[in-house]
Amino acid sequence: MFKRKSIYKTPNKPKGWKKTMMPYLMVSPYIIHFIVFVAFPVLFSLVLTFHEWNIISPMKFKGFNNYIKMFNDRMFWKAIVNTLQFLVIHIPLQLIFALALAEFLNQKIRFKGFFRAAFFLPVIVSGVVVTMLWQQLFGFDTGLFNRILVSVGLDRVGWLVDPDIAMTSIAIMATWKNVGLYVILFLVGLQTVPAHYYEAASIEGASHWQKFRRITLPMINPTIFMVVILSTIGGFSLFIEPYIMTGGGPLNSTLSSVLYIYKQAFQYYHMGYSVTLGFFFAMLILAVVAIQKKYLETDI
Amino acid sequence: MKKKIAIYTLLITASLTFLYPFFWMIVTSLSPEKEIGGLVALPTQFTWDNYIQMFSKIPIGRAFFNSIFTALMTTSGVILFCSMVGYALAKMNFRGRNLIFYVIIFTMTLPFQITLIPNYITMVKLNLVDTYAALVIPFLLNSFAILMFRQAFKTIPDALIDAARVDGCSEPRIIFQILFPNIVPTIVTVGILTFMNSWNEVLWPLIVIRNEDMMTMPQMVTLFSVGGRAEAQIGVKLAAAVVLALPIMIAYSFFQKYFIQSMASSGVKE
C-alpha cells in the first residue's frame, strides 16, 4: 500500500505552479466577493459617515456632523426605543410559546410530523404574505380580531392605529411567524437531555415542574441563548412588517431601525446620514449580542 | 389519559392557529368582494374575479418569472462557488487558509445594516441597478453555505480524494463528479435555504430595482399592497399574496422534512 502510493502519487499530481495556485483559484470567488460586498462597504461607510452625499453631486466633508445630528435626532432614538419595545415583548413570548410547544411535541404522541409541519408553515412563507394577512386580521373595523372581540361584547382594539399598541401587535405577529423555527430548535435541544436524568429524578420523587426547572432548563440553556440572540438580530432587522402595515406610524411608534435607514436613504437621499445610522445600529447589535452572551451563558 | 387529551387539544388548537389564517387567505381570495368579512366564511360562490383583476393590474407573470430566474441563478451559483470554497478549506493545504476561515466566521457575525447602503451605492456605480445581476451577484457567496460544505467535505475520507488524484482527476472534477454524490443532503439543505431566501427576499429588490419589468414577486406584491393600485380591495390584495405564497407552500408540502431540517441547521450554525 505504502509503496504503491509512493510510486503513483507523485508523478500524477498536478505539479508546480498549477498545484500551488489551485486552492487560491478555488477560493478567489469568495475573496473577490468579500472585498466588493463586505470589506469595501465597511471601509467606505466609515468614510461616508464624515460626509454629506446624495449620490449625484460630489461628496462634501462635514466632520462629525452626521454623528452630532444622529444623537440629536429624536426619530433615531425613537427607532431604538421601538426596537427595544419590540424585543421586550417578542423574546419572552417566543421563548414561552416555543418551549411549551416543544415540550408537548416531545411527549409520546401521534401525528408529531403533522403538528411540526403546521407550526413551521409560517416560517417558510414570505414575510410579505404574513404581513398582508395579519393586516387584515388586525383591521380596526373589519379585522377578524375585532370582530371576535365585538361578538363577545368587548371593545374594539386599535391594533395598528393606537400608537401604544401597534408595536406590540407587530411583535405578536413576528412571534407567530417565527415560533415554529424555535420549536424545532428546542425539540433538538430537549432530545439531547439524557433520559436517565429524568428517571433518577422520578425515583427521588421530583414533580414535573421540578424536573423541568432543575433538569430541562439548565440542559437547554444553549438553545435558549441561541433563540434570544436570533430574536434580537431579527428585531433589529424588522423592516417589511412596518413598511407594509403602518409605514412606521402611527406617530412613528413602529418606525424600526432598518425602516429609518431606508427612509433616510431613499426618501431624502441622505446617503452619508443613513450610512451613519447603519454603522451605529450594526455596532449596537454587536454590543447587545455581546452583553447577552456574557450574561446568558454564565447565568442559570 | 386525561393528560393525553389535554396535550392533543392544545396541539390541535395551536396547529389551527398556524393553519387557519392561510386557509382564510385562500378562501377569501376566491370570494366575491361583497362577501368578504365573515368569521368562518365559506363563501356561497367561488370566483376567480380577484385573480383576474390582479393579473390585469400588475405584471405578476413577469414578476413570477423574474423571481424564479433570480432564485434559480442564485441557488446554482451558491452551490457551485460555495462548494469550491468549502472544499478548498476542508481538503487542501495552502497559506492563508486559516485566515480565510476566520474572515468567513467574522463576516457571518457582521450585521447587514452596515453594508446595506454602501452595497446599493456599489450597484449604482457599477450601473447594475435594474438588472438581474444586482439581484443575483451579491448573494452568490455566503458564510453559512461555505461552512456547511466545508463540514460535509471534512467527513469524506482523504483516501477517496487521493485515489481520484492518482487517476488524474482535476480538482473541480473531484468535487462535482466524485464528491457531490456523497454530500447530497448538504447540497439539498443549502439549495432549499438559498432558494427560499432568494424567493422571499424583499428589502434588497426594493432598493436596487425600480423598473416594473425587473421587479421580483415579493417586491411587486408589496408595492401593490402599499400603493393605491389595489384600491383597498382585500380580495385582490390577498390574491396577490396567495400567488406569492403558493410556490413555496407547494415545495414545502413535498419536501417538508428537508425544509425543517435545513432551517434548523441554519439556526444551530448561527
Residue numbers in A near B112 (CB within 8 A): 237
Evaluate the CA torsion angle A224, A227, A230, A235 in order and state its sign: negative
| CA–CA separation, B44 and B48 (whole Å) | 14
Q: What is the pLDDT of residue B41?
A: 57
Tell me A193's DSSP state: S
Q: What is the pLDDT of residue A64?
A: 86
Give the residue from B142, B45, B153 showing the smallest Cα distance to B89: B153
* Grid coordinates of A26: 478555488
The radius of gyration of chain B from alpha carbons, rounded to an integer in Å, stands at 23
Provide the CATH number for the domain around residue B242: 1.10.3720.10
| Positions of chain A with pLDDT under 70 | 1-15, 297-300
A32 and A110 within one domain: no
**Which residues have CB under 8 Å from A254's CB, separation 6+?**
A82, A166, A167, A170, A241, A242, A245, A246, A248
B193 and B90 within one domain: yes
B154 and B33 within one domain: no
B192 and B220 within one domain: yes
Tell whether B54 is covered by a domain: no
Tell whether B53 is covered by a domain: no
Tell whether B68 is covered by a domain: yes
pLDDT tens-digit readout, B121-179? 999 999 999 999 999 999 999 999 999 999 999 999 988 888 888 888 888 889 898 89
Residue numbers in B near A243 (CB within 8 A): 222, 226
A61 and A199 within one domain: no
Q: What is the pLDDT of residue A151?
A: 87
B43 and B63 within one domain: no
| Positions of chain B with pLDDT under 50 | 269-270
Q: Which domain holds residue A53?
A: 15-66
Q: Which residue of B has its CA nearest to A173?
A: B18
Burial of A184 (0-12, 13-18, 19+ CB in 10 A): buried
Q: Between chains, do A282 and B256 touch, taking CB under 8 Å as contact?
A: no
B127 and B234 within one domain: yes
Q: Between chains, do B18 and A237 touch, taking CB under 8 Å as contact?
A: no
Q: What is the pLDDT of residue A180?
A: 92
Q: What is the pLDDT of residue A283?
A: 93
When divided into structural domains, chain A yields a total of 2
Question: Most A CBs within 10 Å: which of B115, B139, B256, as the mutation test of the A interface?
Answer: B115
Q: What is the pLDDT of residue A28?
A: 93
A182 and A41 within one domain: no
A195 and A58 within one domain: no
Q: CB-hemisphere CA count at 13 Å for A221?
A: 13
* Grid coordinates of B88: 478548498
Distance, in angstroms, between B187 CA and closest chain A CA? 18
When divided into structural domains, chain B yields a total of 2
ipTM: 0.90
Give the residue from A168, A148, A146 showing the smallest Cα distance to A156: A146
Q: Which domain holds residue B249?
A: 59-269
